[in-house]
Amino acid sequence: MESEIIVVNGNDNILGYKKIDSLEKEDIYRVSALWIKNNQEEILLAKRHSTKSHHPRKWGLLLQELLKKEGIMKKIL
């Protein structure tokens, strides 16, 4: 069974749930992220793969998790 992602509006109110492969570019969904900083307050970033549907080749956090109906689904960029 494929997990369903929590889809929200601009005020973070739940609108419903969608399977990850049916998410559309305009959909807003909940994501949890981990910021890793060193002693100089530098943040660890990673470049997204060119095949990503959202923001390909952009720099972002190394670790993000999509929040889903059943809990948390781990996603590493």
What domains can be seen in the chain, in order of their start residue? 4-76 (3.90.79.10)
pLDDT at 29 over 60: yes
Read off the tokens for 39: 């002693």
What is the pTM assigned to this prediction?
A: 0.60
| Interior angle at CA 53, CA 6 and CA 7, nearest 5 | 10
Distance CA 4, CA 64 (A): 16
Q: Which string of DSSP letters, residue by residue, matches 22-52?
A: G--TT-EE-EEEE--B-TT-PBPEEEPPTT-
Read off the tokens for 30: 């909940």
Mean pLDDT of 8-29: 92
pLDDT at 60 over 70: yes
